[in-house]
Amino acid sequence: MPHILIIDDERNVRFLIEKFLEGFTYDSLSTVEEALKNIFEKNINYDLIISDLKLPGKSGIELVKALREKAIDTPILIVSAYTKPEILSELFKFERVDFLSKPFTKEELLSKVKELIDEPKESFDRALRMANEFLNSGDLNKAEKLIKKMFSLSPSSPIPHYLMYELLKKRGNLELANKHLNAAKSLDENIEVKKDEENK
């Protein structure tokens, strides 16, 4: 059963969403700060986050930014009565984010929830692109998280091994780095030798 996080400072709105989500497992909070504490400190993994846009403290957009900066790709549904084009434009810069205007019906909410939960998980190619960006910028912790995700998405691919080689080389752990390079070459010698030569 999907685990959903609801964030809204109005108790009656949270109650309405809870009622619409009958049968789902959910947590219900009133601020983004509480939500980030659950995610970052308590390590709670959610399948979907439903959040108001305007909240006391951090806003719904700040929630999206905080999660995406940490390479957390949980789908997020923003529900709000504010539908200014510039707000929607800001939201849709991020992947796996959707918007639902208040007021909404049960059918409208459940349709959005189903779309976001059923949407394919982050693709290997996107993880590869982001991992490369983080490696190039020097943000090795974010790169490592994505590389580990790539291992789970495609265990037989040489690419995560090669990226881990690059990451460990940057950290100065040459012994372990070379083990990953050898693993990459054993999975696909031609591709990895070519990449190795390109990076000399």
- Render pLDDT for 86-134 as a digit per residue (tens, 0 to 9): 888 888 888 789 999 999 999 999 999 998 887 655 567 778 888 999 9
pLDDT for the residue 94: 85
d(CA 126, CA 32): 27
All structural domains of the chain with their residue ranges: 3-118, 124-198
The C-alpha atoms of residue 153 and residue 13 are separated, in whole angstroms, by 37
Q: What is the pLDDT of residue 65?
A: 93
The whole-number pLDDT of residue 198 equals 42
Average pLDDT for residues 29-51, to the nearest whole number? 94
Enter the tokens of residue 85. 């084009």
Question: pLDDT > 90: what percent of the chain?
Answer: 58
145-191 pLDDT, tens digit per residue, is 999 888 876 767 888 899 999 999 999 999 999 999 998 888 776 54
- Does 124-198 match 3-118 at the fold level? no
Which among 45, 43, 32, 37 has a CA at the least distance from the CA of 6? Answer: 32
What local confidence, expressed as pLDDT, does residue 64 receive?
94
Distances (CA, A) of 184 to 10, 151, 166: 52, 12, 12
Instruction: Say whether domain 3-118 belongs to CATH 3.40.50.2300.
Output: yes
Residue 39 per-residue DSSP state: I
Place of tokens 């949270």: 14
Query: For the domain 124-198, what is the CATH code?
Result: 1.25.40.10
Q: What is the pLDDT of residue 199?
A: 46
